[in-house]
Amino acid sequence: MAASAAPLVLSILAEGDSYGYAIIKRVGELSGGELEWTDGLLYPLLHRLERQGLVDSRWGASETGRRRKYYALTDPGRGAIAQHRAQWSTVAAALEAAWDKARVELRSAGPAGARA
Amino acid sequence: MSAPELSSLDDQVALWRGHMERRGAVDGRDVDELEDHLRGHIEALTAAGLSEEEAFLVAVKRLGSQDAIAHEFAQENSRRLWKQLVLGGAPSRPADARAGGLAAVAFAVAGGLLARLTVAVDASEEFWLRNVSLIGFAALIAYLLWRRPPSRGVLAATLVCFAVVAAAANAIPLTTGSDALVVTALHVPILTWLVVLLAYTGDRWRTVDGRMDAVRFTGEWVIYMALLAIGGGVLTAVTLGVSSAAGVDAAHVVESWILPIAAAGAVVIAAWLVESKQSVIENMAPVLARVFTPLFALTFAALVVVVLVGGSPGALDRDTLLICDGVLIIAVGLILYSLTARPDGARAG
């Protein structure tokens, strides 16, 4: 699972309690279908988040009466989202800066390379 | 949506579930959760117009390979394998009195008492060489027959076979200390074990799956027996040490009470462990078989060299032949067992 998976799952749970299949669907909606996970790997991730105390789980029932496990964000989970946000902003800003520089260099190096 | 289709979907999901549950790292509740996901996805896909079969295939594919899922779960639950071994439970099935440990303990105690009574009646070496397996496996056969009652025919066949083996073991006149007696002692257990396997497979004795299961059962049972024997050996040594420190000679008590009862009891307990902790040992047994097969091949090669160097095969002494016999029995067991070991991920997903 990508590094973005944990913050994404936590953020989806910040919208309200949810369960595995709905979380996967929400990831698809949020990313416009661009992010496609191997569905089954979400569950080990959810269990890890639970062990870390970032989410809580309880067994309930689906609309059709099937046993279903629901997850809810905890207060430490909310804190973790704030941390993730700060980290991802930093990463995004750093990447943007790097790409800006690369674009400048590409602009100057590209045509020169073509002429040679 | 017609009824047969529905049941075939349930069958497919159940099959998928069975494969998933056999993975050591994924316990029953994890599989419940995955099944809810699978069924939720199937419902969404069928609502979008797919047939149930297509929906099942797509949903399983999207869920990912069972290997990958089990691997992730294993990393998350690295301690769970040990928990299973110690506390049991997984794969958790609905409570079944006949699968419970209590019943196994009852049969084990019965087996132990039978062994103890027999020791009290006749403790001569000759009698034990002829009958040790019959007495040791009697409770196991009873337990297996009770655990999964077979049809009357198979039940009768099992009992008749047991009686035949018992008669054969005791009918041949043999002198104490003769090699023939040793050969008998070596082979009666094999015949008795075949009866045990008949009791184990029950009505499935004619199917390939049933026979494969029986061979697997044999290998796993041997491993559990060895583990129990190691534990029992340590316990006995400690007991002897403590009692000799206290100035009591416990050797007689150990020999005539503890050993027969514990050994006969362990026979049943090992069988119960094979059944209830299958997912744990299944990862271990093929590995052990693979480790020991080349080692036994080497031993056997060495034996052949000894035979060749020793001169004409006709002049071989009986002891060497008996050892060859024993090694061959082990070799057959190892080969059979390696063959039946389920290849990883076979028919999974």
Cross-chain residue pair A51–B76, CB shorter than 8 Å: yes
Please tell me the distance in Å from B209's CA to the nearest CA on chain A: 30
Binary contact (A40, B75; C-beta < 8 A): no
Number of domains chain A is built from: 1
Q: What percent of chain B has pLDDT over 90?
A: 13
Length of chain A equals: 116
Asked if residue B295 has pLDDT above 50, the reply is: yes
Question: Quick check: helix, strand or coil at residue A56?
Answer: strand
Question: In which band, very low, low, confident or very high, does the pLDDT at B212 lie, cut at 50, 70 and 90?
Answer: confident
**Which chain A residue has the Cα nearest residue B73?**
A44
* Closest in A21, A44, A64 to B73, CB measured: A44
- Name the residue in chain A with its Cα closest to that of B68: A41
CATH code of residue A50: 1.10.10.10
Q: Which domain holds residue A33?
A: 5-115
Question: Two tokens at B243?
Answer: 């009692």
pLDDT the model gives residue A33: 83
Instruction: Give the distance from residue B281's alpha carbon to the nearest chain A alpha carbon, in angstroms.
Output: 23
Give me the interface pTM, i.e. the ipTM. 0.80
- The residue of chain B with its CA nearest to that of A46 is B76
Residue found by looking up tokens 């299958």 in the block:
B278
Q: How does pLDDT run across B227-284, given as a tens digit for each residue?
A: 889 988 888 888 888 888 887 787 888 888 888 889 889 999 999 888 876 666 666 7
| pLDDT score, position B95 | 43
Contact A36, A28 (CB under 8 A): yes
Rounded CA-CA distance A9/A3 in Å is 11
Residue A1 pLDDT level (bands cut at 50, 70, 90): low
A21 chain-B contacts, CB cut-off 8 A? 36-37, 40-41
Q: What is the pLDDT of residue B137?
A: 92
Using alpha carbons, select from B75, B16, B24 the residue that is nearest to residue B287. B24
pLDDT, one tens digit per residue, over B42-83 is 999 999 998 888 899 999 888 888 888 887 887 777 655 554
For A5-32, the pLDDT digits (tens) are: 899 999 999 998 999 899 999 998 888 8
Band of residue A113 on the pLDDT scale cut at 50, 70, 90: very low
Mutation for testing the A interface, residue in B20, B31, B37 having most A CBs under 10 Å: B37
CB under 8 Å to B274, separation ≥6 — which residues?
A: B217, B220, B221, B224, B281
Q: What is the pLDDT of residue B257?
A: 84
Q: Which of A27, A29, A42, A46 to mutate to test the interface with B (most CBs of B within 10 A)?
A: A42
At A93 the pLDDT is 93
Q: What is the pLDDT of residues B90-138, one digit of tens each?
A: 444 444 546 677 888 889 999 999 888 888 887 777 888 888 888 889 9
Cβ contact (<8 Å) for A69 and B33? Answer: yes
Which token pair is A90? 């930093």
Q: Do B76 and A48 touch (CB under 8 A)?
A: yes
Question: Dmax over Cα atoms in chain A, in whole Å?
Answer: 70
Cα–Cα distance measured from residue B223 to residue B217, given in angstroms and rounded to the nearest whole number: 10
Is the model more confident about B79 or about B155?
B155
Q: How confident is the model at residue A106 (pLDDT cuts 50, 70, 90)?
A: low
